[in-house]
Amino acid sequence: MVEGIQTIGVIGLGMMGGGIAKNLASAGFDTVGVDASEQARRTAASDGVRLAEGGRALADTSPDAVMVVVRTDDQVRDALFGEDGVAAGLRPGVPVIVASTVSPTTMTEISGDLRAEGLAPIGAGLSGGPWGAQAGTLTWAVAGSAADVVRVRTIFESTGTELHVVGEDPPMAHAAKLAVQLIYGVNMLGVFEALRLGTAFGIAPDELVRVLTHSVADSWVARNWPHVEEYWRGAGNGLDILVKDMRAATRQADALELSLPVTALSFDLMRSAWSAFGGTIPLRSEPAPDPEPWARRPRAAG
């Protein structure tokens, strides 16, 4: 661990934050977690995470850094600046890592408010899904002052296998995350529709996926389709999270007067028509293998 970073607070112990907190505790950090869910708290405690009753109680533990991994922009604001927010009780200069997927505009506002409290904002976009959070194989896109990023670098290295510093302005990390989600959403719809076409002609879904993954159609989504499918079929409301992020991407594009028609159409399909599409792909009969890491593998020509 970097000298000076010993106690880390994690606000949000759900699908992503729970795995992150577990891996931080395993790496030797004194990890203190906050979550409203009793189940999430019990799981975190069994993983070696100390628990605090809320943001103010977390601040009382004098953490050397805080990471926020909640679901929405409003939840981030509340976790930091609400009635039980952590920000007011932190020591000056403490890095606050916003790892929730918020819009770059929101992160700009949050960064200003954190600086006004004397704190060091760091934007962090994460990729890898709940599987990567549990396995410690996340990809991080991080933005903040160079000195602040160096201070917390080991936090990202303890929870992921890829760390990319994309700039010094914290919202840049969240722009990178929206770009990832944009590609993920569009790619997911492409694989879904490819399977609809193939299965309409009687091709077994598993066999068609093997074709996709050994041709120019290969992608992380195709290689890990069983997990992707499981995610949007309802486990943890995964599709809802992606819809939220695609909505943020379209709104951000509109504010910047950028034309992203494929993103807009994909968002509309997810939001309005997914229930009509769902269930047309036969479920797999065998357990899904663990997802492959995000790093590229050698590709077969074709």
- pLDDT digit string (tens) for 167-187? 999 999 999 999 999 999 999
Report, as an integer, the average pLDDT of 46-69.
98
Report, as an integer, the average pLDDT of 44-61.
98
Residue 192 has pLDDT above 80, yes or no: yes
- pLDDT digit string (tens) for 128-145? 988 899 999 999 999 999
Asked if residues 171 and 111 have their Cβ atoms less than 8 Å apart, the reply is: yes
Asked if residues 267 and 247 have their Cβ atoms less than 8 Å apart, the reply is: yes
The set of residues, in sequence order, having a beta carbon less than 8 Å from that of 86 and lying 6+ positions away, is: 9, 11, 34, 55, 56, 58, 59, 66, 79, 80
- pLDDT digit string (tens) for 79-128? 999 999 999 999 999 999 999 999 999 999 999 999 999 999 999 999 99
Rounded percentage of the chain residues whose pLDDT exceeds 90:
74
The token duo for 270 is 């997810």
Strands 120-127, 95-98: pairing kind: parallel
pLDDT for res 230: 74
Confidence of residue 268 (pLDDT cuts 50, 70, 90): confident
The token duo for 153 is 């670098």
- Top pLDDT among 226 and 275 is at 226
Where do the domains of the chain lie, and which CATH numbers do they carry?
Answer: 7-169 (3.40.50.720), 175-277 (1.10.1040.10)
Strands 160-167, 138-143: pairing kind: parallel
DSSP string, 202-263: T--HHHHHHHHHTSTT--HHHHTHHHHHHHHTTGGGHHHHHHHHHHHHHHHHHHTT---HHH
Q: How far apart are CA 209 and CA 198, in angstroms?
A: 10
Residue showing tokens 């290689």: 223
Closest to 241 in 3D by CA, of 108, 116, 101 = 101
Confidence of residue 293 (pLDDT cuts 50, 70, 90): very low
Confidence of residue 287 (pLDDT cuts 50, 70, 90): very low
pLDDT for res 232: 63
pLDDT for res 24: 98
Residue 269 has pLDDT above 90, yes or no: no
pLDDT for res 233: 63
Confidence of residue 276 (pLDDT cuts 50, 70, 90): very low
Rounded percentage of the chain residues whose pLDDT exceeds 70:
86
pLDDT for res 226: 85
Residue 16 has pLDDT above 50, yes or no: yes
Residue 277 has pLDDT above 70, yes or no: no
Q: Burial code of 138-153, b = ≥16 C-beta within 10 A, e = fewer?
A: bbbbbbbeeebbebbb
Q: How far apart are CA 57 and CA 77, in angstroms?
A: 17
* Helix and strand counts by DSSP (H, E) for the chain: 14, 8
| Mean pLDDT across the chain | 88
Q: How many residues does the chain have?
A: 302
How far from the centroid of its chain's Cα atoms is residue 259's Cα? Answer: 25
